[in-house]
Amino acid sequence: MPRALLSVSDKRGLVAFATELVELGFEIVSTGGTAAELRAAGVPVTAVDAVTGSPEILGGRVKTLHPRVHAGLLARPDADHQAELDAHEI
């Protein structure tokens, strides 16, 4: 299942956007206040720390700086990158 990472300060339109992503088959991964807003609206959310295995630190300033997040963002759609992602269970 593809994942979408959502972490926003301006939450206008967030629930509608996330709901559409879920309907398209995405798992929503989110942080702190964004995750809380989505949960309150009934949108299924996976906390980013459940993906990374690391808690948010420094008052929430560091939450997505992790290879499990950035590898997914930076990987190219080629066999070598996919093999490496698979090897690291990303």
Position 80 scores a pLDDT of: 92
What does pTM read for this prediction? 0.80
Sorted by where each begins, the domain ranges of the chain are 3-87
Taking residues 70-84, what's their average pLDDT?
88
Q: Residues 28-62, buried b or exposed e (16+ Cβ, 10 A)?
A: bbbbeebbebbeeeebebebbbebbeeebeeeeee
Position 65 scores a pLDDT of: 80
CATH class in words for 3-87: alpha beta
Q: Which two tokens stand for residue 21?
A: 């992503």
Residue 10 pLDDT > 90: yes
19 in Cβ contact with 42 (< 8 Å): no
pLDDT digits (tens, 9 = 90+) for 14-60: 999 999 999 999 999 998 899 999 999 999 999 999 998 888 888 87
Q: Which two tokens stand for residue 80?
A: 């070598």
Position 40 scores a pLDDT of: 97
* Residue 62: DSSP 8-state: B
What is d(CA 41, CA 38) in angstroms, rounded to the nearest whole number? Answer: 5
